[in-house]
């Protein structure tokens, strides 16, 4: 993958970003099936492990699950967020920091305080 890619292109390549299909008055949001399968499997495992180890990731997973997403849909949303965080780290030459990565989430801020 070239170094000048965007976060959206990384998420699309990984297959974690949602695919929106719209025609007239109908609109559907589906999972991408055309993707790098091995990369998607690795991100799925990464998201699963992050749920157990990261309070911020757990809060995002719980929020999606509470909104009615199934387990795998919530994991895919978390994986999409993790790919975005990875892109930010690569772009800014920064080391991952849990407090910065999940600082925007109110649930995470109240637990840390």
Q: Terminal CA-to-CA distance of the chain, rounded, Å?
A: 39
Six token digits for residue 103: 């600082």
Are the C-beta atoms of residues 60 and 78 closer than 8 Å to each other?
yes
Higher-pLDDT residue of 60, 113:
60
pLDDT per residue as tens digits for the range 17-58: 878 888 888 888 777 777 778 888 899 999 999 999 999 999
Q: pTM to 2 decimals?
A: 0.80
* Residues 6+ positions from 32 with CB-CB distance below 8 Å: 12, 15, 16, 17, 18, 19
Strands (DSSP E) along 1-113, which ranges?
19-23, 26-30
């Amino acid at each position: 993958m070239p170094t000048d890619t965007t976060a959206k292109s990384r998420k699309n390549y990984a297959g974690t970003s949602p695919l929106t299909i719209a025609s007239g008055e109908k609109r559907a949001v589906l999972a991408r099936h055309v993707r790098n399968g091995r990369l998607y499997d690795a991100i799925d495992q990464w998201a699963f492990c992050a749920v157990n180890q990261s309070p911020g990731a757990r809060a995002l997973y719980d929020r999606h699950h509470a909104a009615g997403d199934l387990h795998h849909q919530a994991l895919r949303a978390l994986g999409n967020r993790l790919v975005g965080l990875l892109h930010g780290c690569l772009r800014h030459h920064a080391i991952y920091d849990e407090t910065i990565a999940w600082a925007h989430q109110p649930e995470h801020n109240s637990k840390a305080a």
